[in-house]
Amino acid sequence: MPIHCPIPIRDLAKAEFDERDALVMSCAYAAQNTLGCLLDERVYENDLMLRLQAEGCVVHTQLPVTVKLGTFEKVYRCDIIAGDALYELKTVIGFTGEHDTQALHLAMMLGVGHAKLLNFRTQKVQGRLRFNALSQADWHGLAWEDDSWRPLSERCDELRQHARNMVNDWGAYLDCRLYDEALRHFMGANPPVFAVCQSCATETS
């Protein structure tokens, strides 16, 4: 299986997610009230896990999600899965687009519609809910149009085939750095493949 999670994660309806989220946020506020806002992310993760478990919630922390293709393998980790609800914990001044990308990337790999960011560094726990609007069919149903493809070197067709394999196996719309890292693995390119291709395109335009 190209994307593997060791346990099944159910895609919660919004009402179900909201119910889980009310419990998670209550425990998150309690954790910060007890610990303050200056500790390491993993401290809040462990405390939140214990509080949720005490409430009868099934919790998994640092759950691995493995992406494979041929000889390439990369493991991502989900901070907290609380009753099938996905949470990513942060200790930052404020959320950025990078954090949104990470949450949506994990949500798409797990095939779930919701992911929530929690920030424990702010004076009050900050939450940001992200919605994955793409279905499995959306990000696996791409049609290739390469009639205008003109290889610039003997390895261009090899690169194109690797790109096809990745999208066919993993789907599209995941974090572009995953595709870049895989292409560098297969092509042995340094600097990153996308940067090299962009440079070539600029020089030949």
Q: What is the pLDDT of residue 190?
A: 59
The backbone torsions φ and ψ at residue 82, rounded to the nearest 5 degrees and listed phi first, read: -110, 100
Angle at CA of residue 36, ends 34 and 42, nearest 5°: 90
How does residue 135 score in pLDDT terms, banded at 50, 70 and 90? confident
Under 8 Å CB-to-CB from 196, ≥6 apart: which residues? 189
pLDDT digits (tens, 9 = 90+) for 50-96: 999 999 999 999 999 999 999 999 999 999 999 999 999 999 999 99
Share of the chain above pLDDT 90, in %: 75
Whether 120 contacts 93, CB under 8 Å: no
Q: What is the pLDDT of residue 1?
A: 65
CA distance 177 to 179: 5
For the record, the structure tokens of 143 come out as 């049609």
pLDDT digits (tens, 9 = 90+) for 98-125: 999 999 999 999 999 999 999 999 999 9
pLDDT digits (tens, 9 = 90+) for 162-179: 999 999 999 889 999 999
Angle between helices 14-35 and 41-54 (to 10 degrees): 120
Q: What is the pLDDT of residue 105?
A: 95
For the record, the structure tokens of 195 come out as 């940067």
CA distances from 136 to 109, 111, 112 (A): 9, 7, 10
The backbone torsions φ and ψ at residue 60, rounded to the nearest 5 degrees and listed phi first, read: -125, 135
Q: Which long-range contacts (CB under 8 A, 24 or more apart) does 50-54 make?
A: 51/27, 52/23, 52/24, 52/27, 52/82
Give the three-state DSSP class for 88. strand
- Compute how many other C-beta atoms are within 10 angstroms of the C-beta atom of residue 180: 15
User: What are the residue boundaries of the structural domains of the chain, listed by start?
Assistant: 3-131, 136-200
For residue 195, pLDDT over 50 is answered with: no
CA distance 126 to 141: 36
**Residue among 83, 85, 44, 45 at smallest CA distance from 62:** 45
Question: At which residue do the structure tokens 């702010």 appear?
Answer: 122
Whether 185 contacts 70, CB under 8 Å: no
3-4 and 126-131: which strand pairing?
unpaired
Q: What is the mean pLDDT of residues 178-197?
A: 74
